[in-house]
Amino acid sequence: MPTNPETFFTVKQISAALAVSARSVRRWIQSKELVAHRLGRSVRIAESDLEAFRKRRRG
């Protein structure tokens, strides 16, 4: 049974997609509003976590 691999984005990609600064994205990650995954020294945000974040922010 094939599974669809999760798509991951960088902080820079998320900030561009949401039209906010990278600092804002990092602040959301630090406050646990946005779930992020650390891969070594890299920080990545899963597409599913981004969608959940967007739904929560809309109210």
- The backbone torsions φ and ψ at residue 41, rounded to the nearest 5 degrees and listed phi first, read -95, -5
CB hemisphere CA count around 55 (13 angstroms): 6
Q: What is the structure's pLDDT at 41?
A: 93
Q: What is the structure's pLDDT at 50?
A: 97
DSSP state of 4: P
Q: What is the structure's pLDDT at 59?
A: 64
How many residues are given for the chain? Answer: 59
Q: What is the structure's pLDDT at 2?
A: 61
Q: What whole-number distance in Å separates Cα of residue 42 and Cα of residue 4?
A: 22
DSSP state of 36: -
Q: What is the structure's pLDDT at 1?
A: 59
Closest CA to 12 of 43, 54, 46: 43
Give pLDDT < 50 ranges for the chain.
Answer: none
Q: What is the structure's pLDDT at 58?
A: 86
